[in-house]
Amino acid sequence: MLTVENLEVVYNDVVLVLRGISLEVGDGQIVALLGANGAGKTTTLRAITGLLEIHEGDVTKGEVNFEGHEVTEWDPSKRVALGISQVMEGRRVFAELDVEENLRAGAYVNRNGTNVKEAHDRVMSLFPRLEERKSAIAGYLSGGEQQMLAIGRALMQDPKLLILDEPSLGLAPLLVQEVRDIIVEINAQGTSVLLIEQNANMALSIAHHGYIMETGKMVMDGDPKKLLKDDDVKEFYLGLHSTGDKKSFREVKHYKRRKRWLS
């Protein structure tokens, strides 16, 4: 469904942020993209959704293809109409509007009345809490409720590909589990998902394929179960190591890991 091929991105004509990355999201898949802060995950999303220009970024090499269309230079609105929908980090709900108004705003490109009703019913089925709070002002919702609203608003576009940027960020463990289960259900209903996370356990537990970024490069990818068992992944993302002592993962093999991944 989505292919990113040998992509390079430069900010302000000076700073090279992405260094020839490639990834794929197959039809019906959940694909996890992991990386620490500054690895280039959000820049990758901006290249896919067309939001680079707002942030003074440019694709200088490579291309983005979605369902057979080369969309690298397309406006964001055209990509949304084609079936790409994004939930940004930090939720970004319309704080002054109520829940129902936020959802209607999300349906802007979904002009078919029947499809809008079906999308609305789907959102309320996935998020019963939003049904209970549909008249509440979004800015007064809890963090978990706002995350549900942000995902629901994106689903109102009836997307083929849903891109989630750090959906577990700032949520309590029980809410992280709930968001995880909702992502699985969304995918089971036929929507492909590109999941960007720092929570490796959550993301790789539900993904069909996983990618790991560091300093603008893909350093590892493969079967999520194998990635979870990899010593470097456990060390860097889970804080675990096999030495048996109490050193932090930042201290254990840090230099060797970086040297190997960046070579």
Q: pLDDT digit string (tens) for 95-152?
A: 999 999 999 988 887 766 668 889 999 999 999 999 999 999 999 999 889 999 999 9
Q: Would you kindly state where each structural domain of the chain is located, as residue ranges?
A: 1-83+159-222, 93-158, 230-263
What pLDDT is recorded for position 23? Answer: 96
Tens digits of residue pLDDT in 161-208: 999 998 888 888 888 999 999 999 999 999 999 999 888 889 999 999
Q: Which residues of 124-139 are buried (b: 16+ CB within 10 A; e: fewer)?
A: bebbebbeebeeebbe
pLDDT given at position 79: 94
User: 1-83+159-222 has which CATH code?
Assistant: 3.40.50.300
The set of residues, in sequence order, having a beta carbon less than 8 Å from that of 188 and lying 6+ positions away, is none
pTM of the model: 0.86
Q: What is the pLDDT of residues 5-37, one digit of tens each?
A: 999 999 998 899 999 999 999 999 999 999 888
Q: What is the pLDDT of residue 251?
A: 47
| Residue 234: band (very low, low, confident or very high) from pLDDT cuts 50, 70, 90 | confident
- The whole-number pLDDT of residue 229 equals 87
Q: DSSP labels for the chain?
A: -EEEEEEEEEETTTEEEEEEEEEEE-TT-EEEEE--TTSSHHHHHHHHHT-TGGGTEEEEEEEEEETTEE-TT--HHHHHHHTEEEE-TT----TTSBHHHHHHHHTTT---HHHHHHHHHHHHHH-HHHHHTTTSBGGGS-HHHHHHHHHHHHHTT--SEEEEESTTTT--HHHHHHHHHHHHHHHHTT-EEEEEES-HHHHHHH-SEEEEEETTEEEEEE-HHHHHH-HHHHHHHS---SS-S---TTTSSHHHHHHHHT-
Round the average pLDDT of the chain to a whole number and report it. 87
What is the reported pLDDT for 247?
44
